[in-house]
Amino acid sequence: MVYQLTMRRSAPWSAPTSPVDGIRVLALLPRRWQKDLSQVAGEIVIRISAGEEATSEDVHAEVERALASSEVSHLELVACRPLAAGSPK
């Protein structure tokens, strides 16, 4: 299953998100996931393929665990939504 994760800084008055933030998040997500990073309008968007056995709840929990790291704790998960197979980027 493919999921789209959207993250942004938790404090709206802080500096915009950096591509480095996205790279840090990628490094903290499970290695078994296939990941694709993009940044859109100040938000970090990551598409992941977590395997057929992963549920939305599993993915959400793993991402929240990654965002608890001090390196990216200034980010919050805004959306974790499954995408239909073959969805355009």
Instruction: Evaluate whether residue 36 is within a structural domain.
Output: yes
Counts of helices then strands in the chain (DSSP H, E) = 2, 4
- Bridge-partner residues for 7, per DSSP? 44, 77
Reply yes or no on whether the pLDDT at 89 is more than 60.
no
> pLDDT tens digit string along 13-24?
666 677 888 999
Structure tokens that stand for 29 in this block: 């997500």
Reply yes or no on whether the pLDDT at 36 is more than 90.
yes
Q: Please state the pTM of the whole predicted model.
A: 0.84
Instruction: Evaluate whether residue 57 is within a structural domain.
Output: yes
Domain that holds residue 35: 13-83
Using pLDDT thresholds of 50, 70 and 90, give the confidence band for residue 41: confident
The 8-class DSSP code of residue 63 comes to: H
pLDDT at 65: 96
**Number of structural domains the chain divides into:** 1
Reply yes or no on whether the pLDDT at 87 is more than 60.
no
